[in-house]
Amino acid sequence: MPDDDAALPARDQLAHLAARGVRWPWRSPSGATVMRRSAVLVLFGVLDDVPAQHRAAAVPASLDVLLTRRSDTLEHHPGQVSFPGGGIDPDDDGIVGAALREAVEETGLDVSGVEVLGALDPLPLIASDNLVHPVLAWWASPSPVRAADPAETADAFRAPVADLLNTAHRRSVRGPGWSSPAFLVPGAAGHVVWGFTAMVLDRLFDELGWTEPWDRTREIPRP
């Protein structure tokens, strides 16, 4: 992140990031066939009521990001924490339209309060053969969210970014030939963000200069 950006409000830092783009650390493997294009909404906003323990040096305690937990009955990535999103339909107004539509269907989001900052370069999600387009946005006027479609979404929640950045909540998940950062989300639900969503958040936080040094050797089993 440019040094001048560090003093800007979070919304402006995110807007600058959307304008200059993100250098994703991974790409589609040679010869891979992507069967479907998808879009996800990476929506940051400000919580009204923030407990005192939410603290991180780089961000205000009130900053949060919208996440969902996918239904346990879905074919791909059941039960995982994710950004709202899904496949781009022919009737969608492009990548942004798809991300917003899916967010409405999954969380009941009122998109009139959402300021789209920009669509980032796509990146592959090999496990479900998708090329995913993250749409970075700011929640200018937050609305209530919920698990609007239980067939797709088991939970919709706002995770304080300071909690995600807290080094006590950072872990790694490893499998044969792969590894992923993970974020433990405090609270009764006990959510764990890992896999694709955690990798995107991890890279965004790095690019924004928000990441605090954390111990990547602290591992948890694959959720």
Q: What is the pLDDT of residues 115-168, one digit of tens each?
A: 999 999 999 887 778 899 999 999 999 999 999 988 888 999 999 999 999 999
The share of the chain scoring above pLDDT 90, in percent, equals 65
How many other β-carbons are positioned within 10 Å of the β-carbon of residue 100?
23
The residue-averaged pLDDT of 171-192 equals 89
Over residues 58-103, the pLDDT tens digits come to 898 899 999 999 887 766 666 789 999 999 999 999 999 999 999 9
Quick check: is 215 in a domain? no
pLDDT of the residue at 33: 57
Quick check: is 167 in a domain? no
pLDDT of the residue at 176: 85
Quick check: is 219 in a domain? no
Quick check: is 192 in a domain? no
Quick check: is 90 in a domain? yes
**Is the predicted pLDDT of residue 17 greater than 90, yes or no?**
yes
Residue 16: give its domain's CATH number.
Answer: 3.90.79.10
pLDDT of the residue at 180: 93
Looking at the structure of the chain, the number of domains it has is 1
Quick check: is 184 in a domain? no
Q: For residue 57, what are the domain limits? A: 6-20+35-160
pTM, entire model: 0.92
State the pLDDT confidence band at 16, using cuts at 50, 70 and 90.
very high
